[in-house]
Structure 1
Amino acid sequence: MSSQSAHSAADLVVAIDGPSGSGKSSVARRVAQVLQLRYLDTGAMYRAVTWWLLEQGVELTDTERAAELTARIPLRMGTDPQRPTVHVGDVDVAGPIRESRISAAVSAVATNLGIRRELVARQQAIAAERGVVVEGRDITTVVAPDAPVRVLLTASEETRLSRRANELHGESTESTVEATRDEVLRRDADDSTVARFLDAAEGVDVVDSSHMTLDETVRAVLDLVEKRTGITP
């Protein structure tokens, strides 16, 4: 980047929403690397809270208790896009929060409005520092509705299921796609009751990555950054 672009990019906020399997985490990390910005995976925050509550034996159906404890979680999100980290206290939970038991339970946390209020406030505080790409499910409408670059990253159901099957099982076969279907579609259906990420709000640009490679999708988002801000990598 030129020095002028680097100076401008330092204050940039890029907000990216999308359903499961749309590629938003991979794309957001790459965009952050190219633009030399920080990166925040808000989905990992909900997963970390899920892990923490389960570790403490909290019934996720006890929504008030779960929300009360979430306000105390010693959660630290590392925002280096090359090495993003997630710690609860001194425990590195980046691996454990991706386990199937967390995936099966995280919607109960993500749809808890008390927990959402707490985590959205933390996400907004990080976004307010600027110089960050934030990705998740209600980023363009709630967390950073005033971000100069707001993107809804989407893909066909078939593509999203195939990507998630590859991610979880290392291959995209009929059986692995079916094994992934419930997790992906149920999570999206549950979360769509409290967050908007299936259709674009006013002023939000849509990128459909169904027939695009990762590099092509990253390029499309970077083109939108240039279109909206004049910043070029």
Structure 2
Amino acid sequence: MTESKKGLVVAIDGPSGAGKSTIARMLAQRLGYIYIDTGAMYRAIGWKAKRERIDPADEAALAGLCSRTEVSIKKDNSDPRFYVDGLDVSGEIRTPEMGMMASAVSRSPAVRSRLLELQRELGRQGGVVMDGRDIGTVVFPDAQVKFYLDASPEERGKRRYLELKEKGMAVDLARITSEIRERDHQDSMRAIAPLKKADDAVLIDATSLSIQQVLDRMLADIGKVK
């Protein structure tokens, strides 16, 4: 299967906590593709903005930040590492706070323009599984395979709660679910590249599906691509 599918761009979009990263990582492993987590790029910019105490609503400050910040990725089929100005921030950006910062800075035209350029460069050669919120609509509207992965806010909150608790973080389920609802609103209402399903994307509601069931469904659909 991997030989005949070498050049594909597989786009996986969907709201926060739907399981995109987990599925995309597994899918890349199965296909022998590179996995690119675009949400982590926004988290990286959000991390730098917080470190420099920049208000995400200050467009001029964010534009300046982007001009002097280097976001890079050490590509690996299953576990890419993210660097900001040469510093590995892969662990630090995986917090609910950085998730909210990512949503906030993603509304910036300067940030989106800078990262859009990087995302397209990374996926230009094909052979990638890329997840985010606007991959199939903006980044690669001509991607050969597009999925929109969704789940109820309650289910997404529960999954995120268990994931963070497993990492030893002190978390509250009600608060996490509330933050997910808030982020859904922010992502779907932003003026630039709002979260939405591409017209030609396959919708998968994973509320009551296991990870393996979602993976099998995606592999079956990819197998139909000539």
Q: Normalised by the size of structure 1, how large is the TM-score?
A: 0.88
In the other structure, the counterpart of 1:215 is: 212
Moved more, 9-18 or 91-100: 91-100
Shift of 1:108: 1.8
Counterparts of 1:129 and 1:44, CA distance in 2: 21
Counterparts of 1:75 and 1:192, CA distance in 2: 25
In the other structure, the counterpart of 1:25 is: 21
Shift of 1:37: 0.2
- Asked if structure 1 preserves the Cα contact closer than 8 Å seen for 2:12 and 2:135, the reply is yes
Counterparts of 2:100 and 2:201, CA distance in 1: 30
- Asked if structure 2 preserves the Cα contact closer than 8 Å seen for 1:15 and 1:144, the reply is yes
Shift of 1:158: 2.0
Counterparts of 1:193 and 1:81, CA distance in 2: 33
In the other structure, the counterpart of 2:80 is: 84
After TM superposition, where is structure 1 displaced by more than 3 Å over at least 4 residues in a row?
194-198
Percent identical = 37
Shift of 1:82: 2.3
The answer to whether 1:114 aligns with 2:110 is yes
Shift of 1:60: 2.4
Amino acid at match of 1:137: R
Question: Deviations for 1:70-115, whole angstroms, at most 9, x for unmatched residues?
Answer: 1332111123132211011221101111234323422220111221
Shift of 1:157: 2.1
Counterparts of 1:57 and 1:31, CA distance in 2: 37
- Asked if structure 2 preserves the Cα contact closer than 8 Å seen for 1:40 and 1:133, the reply is yes
Unpaired segments of 5 or more residues in structure 1?
none
Cα 1:143–1:179 change in 2 (3 A) is same
The answer to whether 1:50 aligns with 2:21 is no
In the other structure, the counterpart of 1:9 is: 5
Question: Deviations for 1:1-58, whole angstroms, at most 9, x for unmatched residues?
Answer: 4xxx41x322110000010111100000000000000011000000000111222232
Amino acid at match of 1:38: I
In the other structure, the counterpart of 1:190 is: 186
The answer to whether 1:146 aligns with 2:122 is no
Counterparts of 1:107 and 1:69, CA distance in 2: 16
- Asked if structure 2 preserves the Cα contact closer than 8 Å seen for 1:111 and 1:193, the reply is no
Q: Secondary structure at the match of 1:11?
A: coil
Q: Secondary structure at the match of 1:96?
A: coil
Counterparts of 2:16 and 2:137, CA distance in 1: 18
Moved more, 98-107 or 13-22: 98-107
In the other structure, the counterpart of 2:89 is: 93
Shift of 1:125: 1.4
Unpaired segments of 5 or more residues in structure 2?
none
Counterparts of 2:68 and 2:117, CA distance in 1: 13
Question: Deviations for 1:100-151, whole angstroms, at most 9, x for unmatched residues?
Answer: 4323422220111221121112111112121100100001100011011011
In the other structure, the counterpart of 1:63 is: 59
